Chain A
């Protein structure tokens, strides 16, 4: 469950950006890695309290995501999807080596107030870290839901994702909204990174989990926020099952096998909301 929630959270970041701007951000895993590194910097190296560190991480990642869109991605408007894909892949590579340069390629760990403790729920013993991941996912999804439903900025984001031109005519600054969406997505990645840091250690290559989260997003239909979470849960669950019941090696590829299966049967994913333009 915890692992699935993590996949779901990263997938959520993909879907947020894709739904609004039609850009697939292959660097989402690297954003998560940056988030985890920021958290380590604030909490472990600067020895700030956990909650303050978390807040600072979220703020710095929001600024980072905003600037990433404003400075780099913005110049790609009108280019083919393929060049944008390559662009984000290369941004991922750059981020990974920048992180390696700043923080070193050693593995760091993040101590949290809750790590190492066990919780006993109805006879099941679960480590607190996973419970926190699940709780964090629920809280974040709820916050996102409320944000998109009730705040004017959230409604503006929905509007510009549905029809940019119409949104523009209605007086929504579409460009700034796009940058803000990148900021929101970076925040989601930062939270996922901070939640993941105590479970798997922090290193520049932790962003590779993003590829599996892709599978989650694709299964969910790449345009639907609940779909992304459900996709993450499906993948996290089957992966654990495959790890216990199937021969070695299957655990690594179950995510992709499921994705192939879903794509072959339903090329649009399970919960597709976005229709393709016909001509």
Chain B
């Protein structure tokens, strides 16, 4: 346990609280930077994919983890980002213009959809976002002049300053750069007044409102920021897929994104990253595990979604704080050793929470 001696007020809002942060995150950054030189190309591609997922995870974490708005339709924002990016690229916009443009369009969609959504709470909100995702999917299928409908549309390699980025490691660094920007923005956002307002809304809408927070404006802001990040992830995802079809953005993707933030740990920035690593590695793990399983189980087509479901159920029942929560417990165990008590994180006995008038 490190006790920080504070000598100035600025220390309270530092991103890197003490030298330990600088050392370990520096080490992590260095490892990520030299990874392309050390690893096989396949793994680099997978890591780039994890970065894209992490951006989307951060985008989803803002409404779900920080504002308490349960969204079941974030695949729609990824779809908007991906298709907008592909469309602008086909119109001849350069990569560095079209990606931010796609993200901004997705943010605008997010802000607009939040206007009818802002009055709803709980399940109504979740179901309305689900309906929104289905409507977007249907629009993509039928707006053939822009999206190519069910026929799909191809996406080229990104071109930066006239140079085509067709190598895997180049795409890796593009994704890494965007991830770092998004991380920095998210960290800054959640310690700014806006982010504090989000968290206040999550903890109690009524108390937030009585503290003078304008609920509807902040909910719209939360969704717009989320749309921005998720749309950005979608734009990068388009390059990764190389070919867009509407069924790439179905309900399963929304559930995957949700799974990321839940398994990673709701309400933490680390959680989005942990969740992205987990979700990104899961299909590979399943593929490897298939070789060791009897063919009757290994060959069976619905295995992956089913396994997703099982893992989610186990996490929600046994570790609601997610991977990051598990990591915190482990860290505390080491710091307190041998004084760690199992009951430190024990959930207090809880009763059914009701939202009704009793």
Residues of A at under 8 Å CB distance from B? 18, 21-22, 24, 72, 75-83, 85-87, 89-94, 96-98, 100-101, 105, 163-165, 204, 211, 214-215, 218, 222, 248-249, 252-253, 255-257, 259-260, 263-264, 267, 274-279
Contacts and interface: CB of A to CB of B under 8 A. Distances in A.
Contact of A222 (B123, B255, B358): B123
Interface string B246-267: 0000010001001100100000
A25 to B, nearest CB: 11
B310 A90 contact: yes
B162 to A, nearest CB: 40
A93 to B, nearest CB: 3
Majority secondary structure, A binding face: helix
B306 A97 contact: yes
A257 B312 contact: no
21 contacts: A22-B355, A77-B351, A82-B70, A89-B309, A90-B312, A93-B255, A94-B306, A96-B302, A97-B302, A97-B303, A204-B302, A211-B134, A211-B251, A218-B124, A218-B128, A263-B116, A263-B120, A263-B124, A276-B357, A277-B354, A278-B206
A91 B312 CA distance: 9
B145 interface: no
A152 to B, nearest CB: 23
Contacts of B305: 93, 96-97
B69 to A, nearest CB: 9
Question: Which of A76, A82, A249, A253 has the most B CB atoms < 10 Å from its CB?
Answer: A82
Contacts of B131: 215, 255-256, 259-260
Nearest to B351: A78
Contacts of B356: 22, 274-277
B157 interface: no
Interface in B190-238: 206
Contacts of B116: 260, 263-264
A12 B326 CA distance: 39
The 3 closest A-B pairs by CB, nearest first: A97-B306, A78-B350, A93-B309
Contacts of A164: 352, 354
A78 B306 contact: no
B70 A101 contact: no
Contacts, number: 160
Nearest to A92: B309
Given A82-B70, A279-B206, A90 B138 contact: no
A206 B251 CA distance: 15
Contact of A276 (B121, B141, B303): B121
A272 to B, nearest CB: 10
Q: Which of A77, A86, A91, A100 has the most CB of B within 10 A?
A: A86
Given A78-B353, A259-B128, A276-B121, A248 B142 contact: yes
A278 B210 CA distance: 13
A86 B258 contact: yes
B112 interface: no
B309 A94 contact: yes
Nearest to B64: A82
Contacts of A248: 142
Given A85-B123, A94-B306, A276-B121, A101 B317 contact: no
Contacts of B121: 267, 276
B127 interface: yes
A86 B119 CA distance: 22
A98 to B, nearest CB: 7
Nearest to B70: A82
A24 B127 CA distance: 10
A24 B121 CA distance: 13
Contacts of A279: 206
A121 B72 CA distance: 44
Given A79-B320, A163-B358, A253-B135, A91 B313 contact: yes
B308 interface: yes
Interface string B307-325: 1111011001100100000
The residue among A93, A105, A267 with the most chain B CB atoms within 10 A of its own CB is A93
B262 A83 contact: yes
A101 B142 contact: no
Contacts of B124: 218, 222, 263, 267
B138 A105 contact: no
B20 interface: no
